Amino acid sequence: MLYFLTTLVDKVNNSFYSNFLIFLISFFSNTFSAISGGGAGLLQLPALILFGVPYYQALSSHKLATVALGIGGSLRNFKSLRNDINVAWQILIFGLPGVILGTSIVEYISEKYLYLFLGIISILLAVYSFFKSGLGQSSCKNKLNLVRKIRFYIFIFLIGILNGSISSGTGLLVTILLIKTFRIDFLRAISLTFLTVGIFWNFTGAIFLSKIGPVSSKTLIILIIGSFTGGYFGAHLSILKGNILIRKTFTTVCLLVGISLLIKSIKSFL
């Protein structure tokens, strides 16, 4: 995939076609992300780096663009959010401090270990989702005891740290955590992920990361348009096709994200 993108970048010299290619990459990556609940960074972030954008600026631009993904998906899935506002507040209260911490330490920690850890987790999620055919297919009322609440808060905080330091895969982790903790279906979980991670987590992370270096406004506008339209279209497809399509897409995206991150990690160790 990266070789294919590199070849396209080498061949495309005209500014219009370069911008159009960035839009297409943003649209399709965010469409799949909207269906699966995460993974837009699988294609969008590497593409920005291949176009010559420095890593921290690319990460900041990607996060700002995925805010548009969160808005697009949330608008389409607004009805699914009405009964879960309390859960959304919990994700924000305990997750945002982790995001801020992650952005503050991203310059001081080795990315290869984070890539390795998140890559393994993503592949394990894909395997788990593949064998658990009933995962996220229905919702039921699930009251949490104190221990499970504390465990949920700790996991949300840790995922927030990963979100602030790496981009790919954290939305997938939040989606599966919501399904396992609250026994809700994929559509409800993804709607919550759009609102909390897609909008508030990524916006907060982008603000702090933008202090490292300036963000290209032209590229950012293209990414925002692609992310918003892709997010809305993906959310529309997920509503039409239901949880079966979402689970299959979730499994596929988890596997691809995991493999991509493992490759990045292995290359950095060599």
- For the chain (length 270 residues), average pLDDT per consecutive 10? 51 64 84 76 72 72 81 72 85 93 76 75 82 71 84 94 77 88 86 87 80 70 87 80 77 81 79
Candidates 191, 195, 198, 200; CA nearest to 171 is 198
Candidates 204, 205, 235; CA nearest to 69 is 235
pLDDT at residue 4 in the model: 52
Cα(82)–Cα(141) distance, integer angstroms? 15
Contact 100, 204 (CB under 8 A): yes
Domain ranges of the chain: 14-269
Cα(36)–Cα(20) distance, integer angstroms? 24
pTM of the model: 0.78
pLDDT at residue 135 in the model: 67
